Structure 1
Amino acid sequence: MHRNRLFGGLILILLGTLFLLQTLGVLAWSVWTYFWPLVLILLGAWILLRPRLAGKQSLEVENLAIPLQTAGESSIEFNHGAGRLLVSGDAAPGQLLEGSFVGGVRHSVQQEGTLARVTLSADPVLTPLDIPWSGEEGLRWDVKLSREVPLDLTFHTGAGENRINLRDLSVKRVVLETGASSSEITLPAQSPFCRVVVRAGAASVVLRVPDGVAGRIEMESGLVGSKIDPQRFPFNGTTYETPGYDLAERRVEIKVEAGLGSIEITSG
């Protein structure tokens, strides 16, 4: 964070110097006429020169583990920024979640009876200037979730890459709200019923439905290119739906609300 303070200090020095010169009559023109162009030039120079001045930088890594304790189910919310988000079902026995967080993480846990509500958030004071411009990935979260309890998962993500594998988990609901990103989600293979909601901007989203899981898909999209397996999910005039959906032992119900980009729903 000290590099951001340095940049902010340079801006204040520049502004103060220009006002002083104008007050002394050295400058005949208005400070504001040239101030913002100079700020943009300084910002560009800072971005280009910082890696060379500071050497190759990397964000700090924070490790986090949250035990199951008395939780019989859990609702987990991910608030992730620019970078890469990896999620799988490989948490150790007795752990609700564990993972490594490049760039750090803020977390909260609230217990409501047997329900554990967990929120994971990127540092709100982390700005694009904190993300290394020397070849590093930026924010990278690698999170492992428990297979021992049913889960309700919400993902809020920005620009970046999301790889979410829920195949071996018991998941009741998945919500993905994402902007300009690339997301791949493998849905649960053993859950009796899972509801999936995707709200996407200019994004590429791939949903993989495991074999043996019936699907019902509702699309509300704008300028989106969609690719849905017509053999497995034939269109019935209203939805894309696996034949015999209502009688299937394992089902997913998918609703997609998208603006731009592409949506693919396939076997996986």
Structure 2
Amino acid sequence: MYDISTRKRALALVTQGRSLNSVSRETGISRAAIRSWQNRLEPLPRMVPPDPGPPADECKYAYLLGLYLGDGCISGHPRGTGYYLRIACANSWPGLIEACEIAVRAINPTGCASRTQAQGYVSVVSYSRHWPRLFPQHGPGKKHERHIALEPWQQAIVDAHPWEFIRGLIHSDGCRITNWTTRLVGGEQKRYEYPRYFLTNLSADIIRLFTAALDQVGVEWKMANTRNISVARKASVALMDAHVGPKY
């Protein structure tokens, strides 16, 4: 038998985001007992996590913001104790997966991240109570079905590190490809190849954020259609190659 203060102490540890396993190891109380107390005792007030402040590494935050807007999501813990950030990365790009995990660890106040293998892709997963504050674009539904805008402090980071933001968006929803065309030269058809960058996203708001960053760094772009942005001019492709490059 455990007195009420012991039970409340164990439950307080759980409300701080601790797992049942870790609380059980620390207190010596079985997980089953702690779980039963959650259902029988009155819920304790949720602890309000302190504001984590600005991201510790603004450069990596700008990159992670691009990844999040492209292939990221935030979901709540079933017990309401915190949030999971998940960034989906294709198996084809192991360097991207590594860069994503490094960025997540740098931004998560706990420094924690892990990888979950799925069919065709890896999810870089990280738990924190602070993800909605660090990514206030989080909300119900799909990103392209709701308004996406940066907070002033986020915009200041993107303005200071536009290339990292562009790189994150390209690594999530973009690509570098080689196009080709034929021209008649001296009566003969000759094939010419040229590189091009594309970004594909269904959100008009995210498209605007991307093209605004391109404008800032002097990259010329064209809207191929409502969901595709193309960078094909030689000088602009050279700029993208110097600062972004193909996925790896």
TM-score (norm 2): 0.30
Instruction: Please identify which structure carries the higher helix content.
Output: 2
